[in-house]
């Protein structure tokens, strides 16, 4: 749906009201105090979860610990005003971490992590453009098996990247490629710090056990508190473990509300084709992933709460949230079910919860950020491995294997390409293959056929793939039903079936039933016309039944169909056709 801007003074007011409509989210009978009272607990719960999660995901993105917090403040706050879901929480996302980390290593002009806020702003404008031209609905055509495969590939990369921090090798500079990182790790494996390995294993086990047995409290909250206390105790009193902490790796943690952005490099980035194409390609991939993650998470929230969010407004909120986050020096943001699910579980009823979460994140970060400097990198690794495990939908992979092997194969392929080559390429290849498999299924021309024999008996075949007709019995009526769509993909198979009906001598009348046909293109119309003419040449009586008005209007464009309609060969119902034609045939 294109966005049309009315002209004149009234049009200007209308347009402005459209943009500021998200601010009118307060119900007439509800005050700000009521909304805050109802949602402050859920908002603070999300804030406490968001701080350690944002720090961990920000580190995984190659931006250090602070950029993720900025995202959790500004992106969440902006989306809470402009978004279309009462429950979705926008912030730093694990699905984007590997793409962003690769961007820091390949950044033009040696910008490194300084490129990420610029990518964030550009991706925000790309999302805004998608919202403006109204093509967001087309993104739903990317199959779920592709997204689950992509998520599994990203999860594997996040988990594999924690080898360094989990084994005390945090000071090594990673290559950003899976095989390169594995080779680097193996080259330094003898330098593994067993103390870091033990801390990683203990904290990861603690997270998994907490999730299993203490589901009432998000595991990341107690684990973060224990991790900070443990790091402080080790650094202050023990000293013997020699663990690398956040403070050791990133220095003093400060600058929560904003970070400087290298805007002066913006002209230079677009002065060459290679750097400009890198920016656009990376920002496009980020925008695509962010849109899909956000809309899917919003739909999951709707399903749990039995509510209906506004996809259009959610997309607008996501675009503005990314633009705002980038301007403040933050990372790309999207909806993530870890935060959204916690928000729902904590009792959220309104977007005011996200507003409280953003403000709470800022307060918690300002107060607690200096203490996070004590957290060992091995604990951060445990948190990120747990996040990676949460990205893998094992139940879905089981369903694919049991119900549709081709979907399972596509998901595995997408995961493999994401791991060994490129996330964007994985999504493109997976979507293309899924389209080919879909076209192959559709091209088989599934149909229903009912055979009325001259002896009064009837035989029905549903969704048959190949038409088989008995040759030893007289068939008075053959009702051939086409459902769904009829076009260039499947018209060939339907043409073969109708040709078979035309050449079967023991068939007297063919009723083409179109009640469940909803889309028809020119090749489908042309195929029907040719099939009808061939059946008539073979001496068959041909008529149509149950054709809806839009399909009938398309058929009337062909002279031969207009003639059939004038001859009374279009019936409202198949039963009417049988009752009318039985005395004649």
Q: Token pair 């402009």 is at which residue?
A: 82
Q: Is the predicted pLDDT of residue 19 greater than 50, yes or no? A: no
Query: Residue 467: what pLDDT?
Result: 79
According to DSSP, residue 73 is labeled: I
Q: pLDDT tier at 584 (50, 70, 90 boundaries)?
A: confident
Tell me the sheet residues that pair with 543: 511
Is the predicted pLDDT of residue 10 greater than 50, yes or no? Answer: no
pLDDT tens by residue, 477-528? 999 999 888 888 888 889 989 999 999 999 999 999 999 888 888 889 999 9
Average pLDDT for 271-290? 93
Q: Render pLDDT for 198-248 as a digit per residue (tens, 0 to 9).
A: 999 999 999 999 888 887 778 888 999 999 999 999 988 877 788 999 999
Q: Read out DSSP for 80-101?
A: HHH-S-SS--EE--HHHHHHHH
Q: Which range is least confidently modeled, 393-407, 434-448, 477-491, 569-583?
A: 434-448
CA distances from 88 to 197, 220, 350, 522, 558 (A): 36, 19, 10, 43, 50
**The three-state (H, E, C) secondary structure of 220-263, written as one string:** HHHHHHHHHHHHHHHHHHHCCCCCCEHHHHHCCCCCCCCCCCCH
Distances (CA, A) of 477 to 354, 450, 457, 474, 577: 63, 8, 11, 9, 10
Residue 541 has pLDDT above 80, yes or no: yes
Q: Is the pLDDT assigned to residue 445 strictly greater than 70?
A: no
Token pair for 97: 């971490």
Query: The pTM is what?
Result: 0.75
Given this model, what pLDDT does residue 466 score?
65
The structural domains of the chain, ordered by start, are 32-436 (no CATH), 444-581 (3.30.750.24)
Query: pLDDT tens across 64-77, in order?
Result: 999 999 999 999 99
Average pLDDT over residues 434-460: 83
Q: Report the C-alpha gap between 358 and 69 in whole angstroms.
A: 10
User: Residue 23 pLDDT > 50, yes or no?
Assistant: no
Q: Find tokens 């493109």 and name the residue.
A: 428
404 has pLDDT over 90: no
How far apart, in whole angstroms, are the C-alpha atoms of residue 331 and residue 54? 10
Question: In whole angstroms, what separates CA 237 from the centre of its chain?
Answer: 47
Q: 3-state DSSP: the chain helix, strand, coil percent, rounded to 5?
A: 65, 10, 25
Residue 443 pLDDT:
63
Question: What is d(CA 54, CA 90) in angstroms, rounded to the nearest whole number?
Answer: 11
At 255, the pLDDT band (50, 70, 90 cuts) reads: low
Q: What is the pLDDT of residue 471?
A: 83
């Amino acid at each position: 749906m294109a966005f049309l801007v009315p002209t004149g003074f009234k049009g200007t007011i209308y347009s402005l009201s459209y943009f500021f409509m998200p601010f009118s989210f307060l119900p007439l009978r509800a005050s700000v105090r009521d909304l805050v009272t109802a949602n402050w607990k859920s908002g603070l719960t999300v804030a406490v979860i968001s701080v350690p999660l944002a720090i961990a995901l920000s580190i995984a993105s190659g931006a250090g610990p602070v950029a993720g917090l900025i995202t959790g403040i500004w992106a969440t706050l902006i989306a809470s005003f402009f978004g279309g879901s009462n429950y979705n929480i926008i912030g730093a996302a694990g699905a984007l971490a590997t793409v962003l980390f690769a961007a820091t290593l390949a950044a033009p002009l040696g910008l490194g992590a300084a490129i990420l806020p610029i990518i964030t702003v550009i991706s925000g404008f790309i999302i805004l453009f998608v919202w403006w031209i109204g093509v967001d609905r087309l993104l739903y055509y990317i199959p779920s098996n592709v997204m689950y495969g992509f998520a599994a590939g990203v999860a594997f990369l996040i988990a594999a990247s924690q080898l360094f921090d989990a084994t005390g090798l945090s000071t090594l500079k990673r290559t950003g490629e899976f095989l390169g990182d594995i080779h680097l790790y193996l080259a330094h494996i003898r330098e593994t710090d067993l103390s870091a390995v033990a801390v990683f294993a203990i904290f990861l086990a603690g997270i998994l056990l907490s999730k299993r047995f203490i589901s009432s409290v998000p595991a990341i909250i107690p684990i973060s508190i224990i991790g900070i206390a443990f790091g402080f105790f080790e650094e202050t009193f023990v000293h013997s473990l020699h663990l690398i902490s956040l403070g050791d790796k990133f220095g003093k943690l400060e600058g929560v509300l904003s970070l400087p952005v290298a805007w002066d490099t913006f002209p230079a980035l677009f002065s060459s084709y290679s750097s400009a194409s890198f920016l656009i390609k990376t920002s496009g991939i980020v925008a695509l992933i962010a849109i899909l993650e956000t809309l899917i998470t919003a739909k999951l929230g709707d399903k749990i709460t039995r509510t209906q969010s506004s996809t259009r407004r959610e997309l607008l909120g996501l675009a503005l949230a990314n633009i705002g986050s980038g301007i403040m020096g933050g990372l790309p943001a999207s909806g993530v079910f870890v935060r959204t699910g916690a928000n729902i579980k904590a009792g959220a009823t309104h977007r005011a919860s996200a507003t409280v979460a953003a403000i709470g994140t800022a307060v918690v970060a300002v107060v607690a950020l200096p203490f996070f400097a004590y957290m060992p990198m091995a604990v951060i690794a445990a948190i990120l491995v747990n996040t990676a495990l949460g990205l893998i939908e094992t139940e879905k992979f089981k369903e694919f294997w049991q119900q549709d092997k081709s979907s399972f194969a596509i998901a595995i392929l997408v995961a493999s390409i994401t791991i060994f080559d490129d996330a964007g390429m994985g999504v493109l290849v997976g979507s293309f293959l899924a389209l080919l498999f879909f076209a192959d299924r559709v091209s088989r021309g599934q149909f229903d056929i009912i055979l009325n024999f001259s002896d009064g008996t009837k035989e029905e075949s549903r969704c048959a793939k190949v038409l088989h007709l008995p040759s030893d019995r007289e068939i008075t009526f053959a009702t051939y039903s086409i459902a769904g769509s009829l076009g260039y993909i499947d018209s060939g198979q339907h043409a073969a079936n109708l040709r078979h009906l035309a050449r079967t001598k023991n068939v007297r009348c063919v009723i083409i039933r179109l009640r469940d046909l909803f889309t028809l293109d020119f090749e489908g119309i042309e195929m029907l016309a040719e099939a009808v003419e061939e059946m008539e040449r073979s001496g068959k009586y041909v008529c149509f039944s149950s054709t809806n008005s839009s399909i009938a209007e398309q058929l009337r464009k062909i002279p031969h169909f207009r003639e059939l309609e004038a001859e009374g060969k279009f019936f409202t119902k198949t039963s009417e056709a049988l009752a009318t034609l039985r005395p004649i045939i």
